[in-house]
Chains A and B, each alone.
Chain A
């Protein structure tokens, strides 16, 4: 899964990409012409034997022409950029889906808005979108300035503490896209990525219905022990698992932890092994992150992994 501005999959990114190609071709052509003229000049200069030849009579005209042409081209690029920027900012549609994204050091909280608070869905580091529907992303920051960037879907937008920014985007092609924080925000800025999954509307609807449910009850004995550990240890201070005693709001919501594909904001794929290593020593994997190292025995940790892995 790579991230590239040149693989646009949505209307906003398509505008940015077309702008990018326009500027690319203009500058390429200009460079080729300039180098060709330089080559001709060098050749003519070398062929010339008389060092005191007077200036070319038309030289002033050539210079004036090239200057005017440069100004016109640069002005054209400026106008093109303004048109693109305006288009990016003025996308207006009714029936827009609202998602609140809050940037933390160093992860993303995602909340799907709904008039009824019960129907709101909170997840982390993963953004699911129905294909073809415009979404408005309300962007907030909790601590320092971050920047939300999914190159395949839209341009960047800064998330600034105390300020609400709104980003409009629409995914036109189903797929999985990578996004990341694009404003240096501290020690683990590089490990502040997220995944955007664009899927057909009916599939998205099924997903959001599943997310609205409370957490899966543990079936196996091991997983039941895991839930017990969650409820009696430090987990509850920061994490929410709806349907259990865990109600902290400082860290990612874990209600449907196993429905996500990565852990630690795109740092590692979510496999039982990685989850186990993360719980054993989060500071070794992502030094400085807010998750403290917990004193858990190997057996307790195995139970915790078993519990987390069944939170689908």
Chain B
């Protein structure tokens, strides 16, 4: 009996992290150096610096990202993930990288042929929230943190029910 109670408490405690609400990004998690687009380096090759998305396990950050995705008009070009003027975000194809820091710099720096540079216009924390949500669109975040179904009509499956699509690096189509 005591063993079961301990297990229940442990399981419940693991949920705390998921719902944690940090209203400010902890210091030091800002992306100081922009991510490289090229694998080639001058001089002797070194391990490129990569930064994982700090918020992809956090349900609050994901739902905030989802709200901002509409608020900042990402939907205008990418639609609800299916793509329109801009590329689809819910498929497995990634032109500029699928890692958190790569998506971060895509949003901040903009990309040729239409993606505006949002740097300076969206604070870092909100960019990270958007990054986490963009990753959830193709099922690449933990299921327990991804947003569930919308209050209104939704054409696609809710993010938490999407099968993870292993990212594939592609060029422009």
A250 on the interface (CB 8 Å rule)?
yes
Partner of A234, one of B71, B120, B151: B120
In angstroms, Cα B71 to Cα A149, docked, is 28
B122 on the interface (CB 8 Å rule)?
yes
A250 touches B71 (CB 8 A): yes
B121 touches A237 (CB 8 A): yes
Chain B residues with CB under 8 Å of A200's CB are none
Within 8 A of B (CB), among A263-295: 281, 283, 287-288, 292-295
B21 touches A288 (CB 8 A): yes
Size category, B interface: 10 to 19
List the A residue with the shortest CB-CB distance to B126. A292
Within 8 A of B (CB), among A285-309: 287-288, 292-295
B122 touches A234 (CB 8 A): yes
A70 on the interface (CB 8 Å rule)?
no
Partner of B23, one of A234, A237, A238, A283: A283
A232 touches B120 (CB 8 A): yes
| Least Cβ–Cβ distance between A163 and chain B, in angstroms | 13
Chain A residues with CB under 8 Å of B23's CB are 283, 287-288, 293
Within 8 A of A (CB), among B40-88: 71-72
B173 on the interface (CB 8 Å rule)?
no
Chain A residues with CB under 8 Å of B21's CB are 288
| Least Cβ–Cβ distance between A234 and chain B, in angstroms | 5
Given known pairs A237-B72, A250-B71, A287-B23, the reply for A292 and B125 (CB within 8 Å) is yes
B120 touches A237 (CB 8 A): no
A293 touches B121 (CB 8 A): no
| Least Cβ–Cβ distance between A301 and chain B, in angstroms | 14
Given known pairs A161-B151, A237-B72, A250-B71, the reply for A293 and B120 (CB within 8 Å) is no
> What sequence of 0s and 1s flags, for each residue 83-114 of chain B, a beta carbon within 8 Å of any chain A beta carbon?
00000000000000000000000000000000
| Least Cβ–Cβ distance between A84 and chain B, in angstroms | 34
Chain A residues with CB under 8 Å of B122's CB are 234, 237
Partner of B123, one of A236, A288, A295: A295
| Least Cβ–Cβ distance between B124 and chain A, in angstroms | 8
Chain B residues with CB under 8 Å of A232's CB are 120
| Least Cβ–Cβ distance between B131 and chain A, in angstroms | 15
A233 on the interface (CB 8 Å rule)?
yes
| Least Cβ–Cβ distance between B155 and chain A, in angstroms | 18
Partner of A233, one of B120, B124, B125, B151: B120
B2 on the interface (CB 8 Å rule)?
no
B123 touches A293 (CB 8 A): yes
Chain B residues with CB under 8 Å of A236's CB are 121
In angstroms, Cα B71 to Cα A234, docked, is 13
| Least Cβ–Cβ distance between B70 and chain A, in angstroms | 10
B172 on the interface (CB 8 Å rule)?
no
B125 touches A293 (CB 8 A): yes
7 smallest CB-CB distances across A and B, nearest first, come from A283-B23, A292-B123, A250-B71, A287-B23, A283-B24, A293-B24, A234-B121
Can you offer 10 A-B residue contacts whose CB atoms are under 8 A?
A: A161-B151, A233-B120, A234-B120, A237-B72, A237-B121, A250-B71, A292-B125, A293-B23, A293-B125, A294-B123
Where the two chains meet, the residues of A that have a C-beta atom closer than 8 Å to any C-beta of B are 161, 232-234, 236-238, 250, 281, 283, 287-288, 292-295
Where the two chains meet, the residues of B that have a C-beta atom closer than 8 Å to any C-beta of A are 21, 23-24, 71-72, 120-126, 151
